[in-house]
Structures are given as C-alpha cells and as structure tokens.
Amino acid sequence: MSQKSDKVKSGYSELDYIERDEVKKFIKEFDEATTEKRKTFSESLRSVTNKSLGPTSGYSCPCCGKS
C-alpha cells in the first residue's frame, strides 16, 4: 500500500461507528459520481479540511503530514 492509503486507513481506524458510516457514504457517493461531481466533492472537502487540519505550533500534521 502507499503512504497515502496508510494515512487514510490509520485515520479510519480511529473513527467511531457513526463517523465510519459517514466515510462509507461519502466513498459510495464519490465512486458513483460523474467526473465533474467528483471534482466538486474534492474541492468542497479540500476547503473544509484546509480550515480544520494542518500543522500547529511548528509540528507536522499527523493526518496529512504537512509541516
């Protein structure tokens, strides 16, 4: 597996039951979406995660690896 998929699996394993269901629903919708809709999904998710994820206090983000 790649480093990216390892990060996703690690994050997924830390989710509770409800959060895992949300992720499964997103993956299903994403996989069934058209290319244009996937782009919209990705942009929307990116804008949310850029606000809530990322490094703080000079440390690397444990989720995305940004430093």
In a domain, 20, yes or no: yes
Q: Answer yes or no: is 58 within a domain.
A: no
Helices then strands, counting H and E runs in the chain, come out as: 3, 0
Residue 67: pLDDT band by 50, 70, 90 thresholds? low
* Radius of gyration of the chain measured on its C-alpha atoms: 13
Q: Is the pLDDT of residue 63 over 70?
A: no
- Structure-model confidence comparison of residues 1 and 12, the more confident one: 12
Q: Is 19 domain-assigned? A: yes
Q: Does the residue 49 lie in any domain? A: no
Total domains, the chain: 1
- Residue 34 inside a domain? The answer is yes
Express each pLDDT in 3-58 by its tens digit.
889 888 999 999 999 999 999 999 999 899 998 888 887 888 777 666 555 555 65
C-alpha to C-alpha distance for 51 and 14, rounded to whole angstroms: 20
Q: How many angstroms separate the CA atoms of 27 and 33, rounded?
A: 10
Residue 21 falls inside a structural domain: yes
Domain extent, residue 29, equals 13-39
